[in-house]
Structure 1
Amino acid sequence: MVVLQRLWQDRGAKIALFIIGLYLLLGICAPLITPYTPTAVNIQNKFAGMSFAHWLGTDHLGRDILTRLIYAIRPSLMLVLAALLCAVVIGMILGFIAGYFGRWIDTILMRACDVMLSFPTYVMTLALIGVLGIGLESIFVAFIITRWAWFCRIIRTSVMQYRDSDDVKFARAIGLSHTRIIMTHILPLTLADIAVISSSSMVSMILQISGFSFIGLGVKAPTAEWGMMMNEARKVMFSHPELMFAPGIAIIIIVLAFNFLSDAI
């Protein structure tokens, strides 16, 4: 509740939440609000300028830029959000177990986290994509594998701050179960920390998937994705710079929104 009140009182947080919500709404409702399909090719209409029919013009294959920009929200933001949620859930469960119970369980889990965190995130993600193959599924799995240990360690540290508080000691004394103690007395106190690291992780993951797609190791064609759209526009960036500006601005806006949200939390 404290986090929600803080967000509600912060103007920047309200704007950030509105932008994030708008992006998600556009991604979900993409088939309903776009007049074209993102993969529809019309060579005769390639590099068409801005018009009533094509608000942002068309690309080298005659595909509508605005349509592809909206559909690109799905892999660029919604896929990343789903991977983040999975990593957070795994990290929360293991982090609460390690931080609350301690002893040998904590030792084993922290050594596993040490091993995972000893590898640079980008290098490990690239290695996993190389093993699993290029595609959305590989990126999804790679994000979860490379992120859960970070969440586990942060959440474990947060839990250790509260496990010996008077409230928790009293709850143990009256015979409450470990699950109820964690859910009632510890989890609400750690939500702020979880929200901060989640919002900051979203930024790096969005930039990562766009960067991988830009160099050809992310989303496969013809799926629309912001990084891939920038890669396709790279060859004509001087004659048709608007093709690169559109996905670039979309990335900048959503990254700024998550940064503002993280600062507000």
Structure 2
Amino acid sequence: MQEPQIAAPSAPRSEDRPLLSGRPGWMKAAGRLRQNKKAMVGFWMVSVFILVAVFAKWIAPYDPLEQNMDMLLKPPSFHYLLGTDEYGRDILSRMMYGAQISLMIGIVGMLVSLILGMALGTISGYFGGAADMIIMRIMDILMAFPGFLLALAIVSVLGPGMTNLMIAIGIFSVPSFARICRSSVLSLNQKEFIEAAKSMGSGHMRIIFNHVLPNSLAPMIVLSSLRIATAILSASGLSFLGMGAQPPTPEWGMMLNTGREFLRSAPHISLIPGLAIMYVVLGFNLLGDGLRDALDPKMKL
């Protein structure tokens, strides 16, 4: 009589494994990112921007608020590498300090969107039912408005200023985070490890924080990098309209606005902030596209 053969347990399929489970997952994603030339260009562009913002206090040649009435509207020169503005202030120094403001707006706005969006998306996707319907209908209403107009309306109600600007930037990006997080949670609910955790008696909070949220990070990381660029661009647009940073704050969008009056006599006042905004937004978009490819397990570079 032959002994019954016991089949060896099959290895978990690649699509059932957490995307960034442990160190090997992160290392593979980092390897794919390094192989993406466009992503690395974006990475170095963003790195330069962050370094300038962090060390602006030490590398800026002048005080960004110091006025020199003898040096009004001077073009780029040896002493003023990017020229001076209508008050004789050094544009290079103002650009460096403006990088701090743009970085702060981008990060704070993204964090507000990320926290609120992941909370709402997780509740909607995990519990479903009436909570899902109510949350998603609210998100649909918010998405019916163009993001910039929604932010403009929020700032108009709250009033101009940096704090209100960051709140508005954060709120208008919440629907994107909520819907993507909900999609990830819905797909995770069908996975075997979630069903196993439920069958073992794990509570909802334990499952959400130990299993659902960690395995929903990949799309959130990609969207966060792209939304930082959107936040910086939207903040510059609102400041350009006078609804964001107020004078004499060295904010790029406001510098772009004040330079409109001198486009013929001193075009560098508007040209330089505009190029800086384009540089930063391009860098974050390239990095975000690279992260999307690197964190996609189906991508083969």
Structure 1 residue 89, shift from structure 2 partner: 1.0
Preserved CA contact (<8 Å) 2:105 2:235: no
Aligned partner letter, 1:174 = M
Measured against aligned partners, the alpha-carbon deviations of 1:154-201 in whole angstroms (never above 9, x if no partner) come to 211121011111121122223333333333433343222112222232
1:198 corresponds to which of 205, 221, 224: 224
Q: Distance in 2 between matches of 1:235 and 1:159?
A: 51
Look up the match of 1:140: 166
Q: Say which SS state the counterpart of residue 81 (structure 1) adopts.
A: helix
CA distance in structure 2 between the partners assigned to 1:188 and 1:127 by the alignment: 34
1:156 to 179, 182, 196: 182
Q: Structure 1 unaligned runs (5+)?
A: none
Aligned pair 1:45/2:56, yes or no? no
Query: 1:13 offset after TM fit, Å?
Result: 1.7
Q: Which TM-score applies when normalising by structure 2?
A: 0.82
Quick one: distance in 2 between partners of 1:3 and 1:168?
24
Matches within 5 A, 1:178-197: 178-197=204-223
Displacement of 1:12: 2.1
Task: Verify the 8 A CA contact 2:109 2:228 in the aligned structure 1.
Answer: no
* Match in the other structure for 1:33: 59
1:71 offset after TM fit, Å? Answer: 0.8
Read off the aligned partner of 2:83 and give its amino acid letter. G
1:215 is aligned to: 241
Counterpart in the other structure of 1:70: 96
- Distance in 1 between the 2:246 and 2:155 partners? 12
Give the Cα separation in 2 of the matches to 1:260 and 1:122. 22
Q: What pairs up with 1:79-94 in 2 under 5 angstroms?
A: 79-94=105-120
Structure 2 residue aligned with 1:24:
50
**How far, CA to CA, are the matches of 1:63 and 1:155 in structure 2?**
45
Corresponding residue for residue 245 of structure 1: 271
**Amino acid of the residue matched to residue 201 of structure 2?**
G
Q: Give the percent of matched residue pairs that are identical in Structure 1 and Structure 2.
A: 38
Show the counterpart of 2:297: none
- What amino acid does structure 1 have at the position aligned with 2:102? S
Assess, with a 3 A threshold, how the Cα gap between structure 1 residues 187 and 6 changes in structure 2: closer, same or farther: farther
Greater fraction of residues in helix: 1
For the pair 1:255 / 2:255, whether they are aligned, the reply is no
Moved over 4 A (4+): none
Matched, 1:56 2:82: yes
Q: Secondary structure at the match of 2:67?
A: coil
1:76-95 C-alpha deviation (Å, 9 max, x unpaired): 23212211112101111221
From the CA coordinates, give the structure whose radius of gyration is larger: 2
Partner of 1:7: 33
Kept in 1: contact 2:114–2:224 (CA 8 A): yes
Match of 1:120 among 146, 168, 185: 146
**Distance (whole Å) between structure 1 residues aligned to residue 29 and residue 59 of structure 2:** 34
Distance across 2 between alignment mates of 1:115 and 1:233? 37
Q: Please, what TM-score do these two structures have when normalized by structure 1?
A: 0.92
Deviation at 1:226, TM superposition (A): 1.2
RMSD: 1.8
* Match status 1:108 vs 2:107: no
- Kept in 2: contact 1:3–1:192 (CA 8 A): no
Report the AA paired with residue 16 of structure 1: G
AA in 2 matched with 1:230: L
8 A Cα contact 2:75 2:268, kept in partner: no
Q: Match of 1:45, SS?
A: coil
Deviation at 1:59, TM superposition (A): 0.9
Aligned residue for 1:72, secondary structure, equals helix
Relative to structure 1, the CA distance from residue 117 to residue 81 in structure 2 (aligned partners, 3 Å threshold; closer, same or farther) is same
- Number of positions where the alignment pairs a residue of Structure 1 with one of Structure 2: 265
Measured after TM superposition, the shift of residue 141 of structure 1 is 1.3
